[in-house]
Amino acid sequence: MIKKIKNIFKKKKKLTYNINRKRNFKTIELMFNSIKKENDFVDHSTWADLNMNKVYSNIDRTLTTPGEQKLYSILREPLYDKEKLEKRGEVISIFDRYNDFRRDVHEELNRIERTDDDIIYILKEGLETNFIMKIIYNLFTIFSVLSIVSIFLIPNFRSNAILILGVISSLNMFLHYSAGRKIGDKIETIEYTGNMIKVSGSLLNVLENRLPNYCEKINRLYKTTRKIGKKSKMITTVEGLDVFADYINILFLVKERNYFSIVDQVEKYNKEIIELYNLIGEIDAYVSISLYRDNLEYYTIPKFTYEKRVMKSKDVIHPLLEDPIPNDVNFEKGGMVLTGSNMSGKSTFLRIIGVNVILSQTIYTVLAKEYISSFYRVVSSISLQDNIGEGKSYYFAEAEAILRMINSTESEVTTLALIDEIFKGTNPVERINAAAEILNYIDKQNAFTVVATHDLNLIPLIHNYIRYYFMENMTDEGMEFDYKLRKGISPTRNAVKILKFIGYPKDLLENIDKRLEKIE
């Protein structure tokens, strides 16, 4: 009630983009969960491995629920078609070029705001319609009208008519307040939907010159659904501001009858409303991507080739790092094997590749100065954990992740397999031999593999992998890393150095060194 009263008197909201705002991912995921297709999306484990919720939050400058949901769906559903991506890129570039237009569009979208209601689910499943209650509301409205007519037109029946009107008024009051409890949550959904429809009407004037295709689609949908927008006002009026209006509303059950009338309209034009919801979301998402680009130090528009196993990028970086170190990436015929000490940058490099591949095929943006690539389906095994709730060990989780990669290679789209420390959850003998066979097997499939490992004994066993490494320098102040990718195998180890640096007993460290000397 208080919220609705504020909405009546509120001024035009100032546009603000708080990328650090608290996000309700249960709501944000609703659109994606309702439309996702088998194998055509970034799987949950890979999404978590690459910290994509944080990447999403870093990009998100949407102002509406359809917008934040659509942006999430875009990131979860990479495209593998050059023409579709170019068309998406053309729309985003219009917002890039015309800042005033972008601001005007966002100001209109700002009027729609956000909701935690599951609009998509409610629209697809339909609003509940109680046919009996619909008849009762109409009958009691007729009784009210007949009673009032009798008071003025049938003098001999006036006293009885007044008595009947009093009884009907009491019954209608009961029906009114009991209905409020039953359909209150549905009214909020209708209010949001109605407001979205009304704003889409005013959005037409803004889109007309720059985005005529969107204007044409929205205009068609607006003409079909605008009655819902108008009628929604009748059921979202605030009670208590006008006593006479409240009495009329109760006496003739205006809100309840309008509710069922709107429900009928929503059922009738269900597909059109969902299509409009998606279009509004798409526009909001594309504006968000354009605003995100404005905040980047540099980025490039990706170029794609249908040739297999290609990636050439210059100065590629991670979107979440404050002071990222750029690296060049050049996929050669075989896979890539990364070596290097702890904290040298191997895992981050895997994420840099994975995140930028996803961004290139979703928001048509890469955090690099140049980027030419094949299309890839990204599958990873990076940040796995024991799952006590499901009774799964770390090794079991690893085995499942690697199997996802193997199964993914059967697709027409090349799998980009990103693996950090393969099978570290089991003993060394089985780990190295199983890892070697699996990596050689995946390399022969429709895949490109980038694997990071500490196991130098694994390197000679994988035949078609180009070797790269990250290195570090040990100083009196600790470990120094330059995070630059180099060709070859890491010449250093730092596990014992770290023990020394953090203060392990000297005699213990000497014994460790003696053991290592014997092994070497």
Q: Are 277 and 196 in contact (CB under 8 A)?
A: yes
Give domain status of residue 91, yes or no.
no
Give domain status of residue 478, yes or no.
yes
User: Residues 281, 359: one domain?
Assistant: no
User: Residues 343, 423: one domain?
Assistant: yes
Q: Which of 291, 315, 333 is the last residue of a domain?
A: 291
From first to last of the 520 residues of the chain, give the pLDDT tens digit.
444 444 444 445 666 667 888 999 999 999 998 876 666 899 999 999 999 999 999 999 999 999 999 999 999 999 999 999 999 999 999 999 999 999 999 999 999 989 887 777 777 776 666 778 888 888 888 888 888 888 888 888 888 888 988 998 898 888 888 776 777 677 788 889 999 999 999 999 999 999 999 999 999 999 999 988 887 776 766 455 567 777 787 888 788 888 888 888 888 898 999 999 999 999 999 999 999 999 999 999 999 999 999 999 999 999 999 999 999 999 877 899 999 877 788 999 999 999 999 999 999 999 999 999 999 999 999 976 644 344 457 788 888 889 999 999 999 999 999 999 888 877 888 889 999 999 999 999 999 999 999 888 899 999 889 999 898 776 666 677 889 999 998 877 777 877 887 889 989 988 988 887 876 5
Q: Which of 260, 291, 322 is the last residue of a domain?
A: 291
User: Which residue, 380, 387, 425, is CA-closest to 401?
Assistant: 380
pLDDT of res. 286: 99
pLDDT of res. 387: 45
User: Residues 371, 406: one domain?
Assistant: yes
Neighbours of 296 (CB within 10 A): 11
- What letter does residue 326 receive in the DSSP assignment? P
CA distance 59 to 53: 10
How many domains is the chain partitioned into structurally?
2
User: Residues 350, 394: one domain?
Assistant: yes
pLDDT of res. 236: 62
Give domain status of residue 251, yes or no.
yes
Give domain status of residue 357, yes or no.
yes
pLDDT digits (tens, 9 = 90+) for 171-193: 888 888 877 677 767 778 888 99
User: Residues 267, 170: one domain?
Assistant: yes
User: Residues 262, 387: one domain?
Assistant: no
Cβ-in-10-Å burial (0-12, 13-18, 19+) of 502 comes to exposed
Give domain status of residue 325, yes or no.
yes
User: Residues 287, 325: one domain?
Assistant: no
User: Residues 342, 449: one domain?
Assistant: yes
- The contacts of residue 520 (CB under 8 Å, 6+ apart) are none
Q: Are 114 and 68 in contact (CB under 8 A)?
A: yes
Give domain status of residue 109, yes or no.
no
- What letter does residue 238 receive in the DSSP assignment? P
User: Residues 404, 425: one domain?
Assistant: yes
Q: Which of 262, 291, 320 is the last residue of a domain?
A: 291
Give domain status of residue 5, yes or no.
no
Give domain status of residue 320, yes or no.
yes
Q: Which residues does residue 313 pair with via DSSP β-bridges, in sequence order?
A: 329, 371
User: Residues 283, 134: one domain?
Assistant: yes
User: Which residue, 204, 368, 394, is CA-closest to 280?
Assistant: 204
User: Residues 308, 397: one domain?
Assistant: yes
Q: Are 339 and 459 in contact (CB under 8 A)?
A: yes
pLDDT of res. 249: 79
pLDDT of res. 477: 67
CATH, residue 483 = 3.40.50.300
pLDDT digits (tens, 9 = 90+) for 29-88: 999 988 766 668 999 999 999 999 999 999 999 999 999 999 999 999 999 999 999 999
Query: Where in the sequence is the domain holding 356, given as residue range(s)?
Result: 303-489
pLDDT of res. 200: 96
The interaxial angle of helices 270-294 and 99-109, nearest 10 deg, is: 130
User: Residues 316, 463: one domain?
Assistant: yes
Q: How many residues does the chain have?
A: 520
